[in-house]
Amino acid sequence: MKKIMNIRYLLLITLVSCQTKVPLFSGENAFGHLKEQCAFGPRNPGSEGHRKALEYYISTFESLADTVIVQSFTETMPRTGAKVLMNNVIAQFNNKASKQIMISAHWDTRPWADRGENDLGRNQPIQGANDGASGVAVLIELAYILKKHTPEIGVNLVLFDAEDYGTSGDSWSYCKGSQYFARNLPIDYPDYAINLDMIADREPEFYIERFSYEQNPSLVMELWDSAESLGLKTFKKKAKYMIFDDHVPLYEIAGIPAIDIIDFDYPNEKINYHHTQNDIVENCSPKGLGEVGTLMVHHIYNQK
């Protein structure tokens, strides 16, 4: 009887160990980080909100990460011609590990709502709740988790500046932060990169982005297969858009096999708040943040 009980006890311990191996990710916590960023107002380069947000990111990561790197560079704003100081922010965890990955998002917001129907707001900066704050919100929540639970691999959380102030029709006028990062790598060359963008709308659906599949098909299938096994219904194993985002310069310039997790239909195919004054907290939700974040923690803590 005692031997049977010991076996049952060992089985119970094993089961509990398996259940607690991967930390839980809170979409609600991430949504709180989204709202904190939006409280600074628009974070377009050169603005007061941009300055305050940068201070917030640096102080937050310095309290959590093993190492924080601020990579500064200057860019010329396309409409005004003003030279503005930009900053990429890198938070490193377990940076001595042999395997290194990076998870990125852009933190700046669009300086003008050029897709809005309201003429009064077309030349005004946007709040950028989804397009900017959402990906960063997941990275901040990941930082809290990584602080408490050291991963076996190295994880570099990277915030890109100057992604969203380019000129429509000219792809390479966007993503200036990732272009600078790719040309001047401030970290050891990562095995691959996962970029997060526009992941907090109220009707989240994450289709496979086509550049991503071209650049790193095995990682795409690994993640979407994992999402399926985890029951993350927002992930759709079907290709849809081809979107020039920060993952493209990472691959084209630095050769980093990078992918993008993005829901470009915000919130759906009929209505899109992208680059409009409707990109606000009220049009976002924790659901997509929770599912993307859950996928990220399972990916991180199942790596050896």
Domains of the chain (ranges plus CATH)? 25-301 (3.40.630.10)
Alpha-carbon gap, residue 143 to 94, rounded angstroms: 12
pLDDT at 167: 86
pLDDT at 194: 99
pLDDT at 116: 66
pLDDT at 1: 40
Report the chain (304 residues): mean pLDDT per 10 consecutive residues: 41 41 97 98 97 98 98 89 94 97 98 77 92 98 98 98 91 96 98 98 98 98 98 97 98 98 96 96 98 98 92
pLDDT at 9: 39
Burial 142-156 (b: 16+ CB within 10 A, else e): bbbbbeeeebebbbb
Contact criterion met (CB below 8 Å) for 215 and 244: no
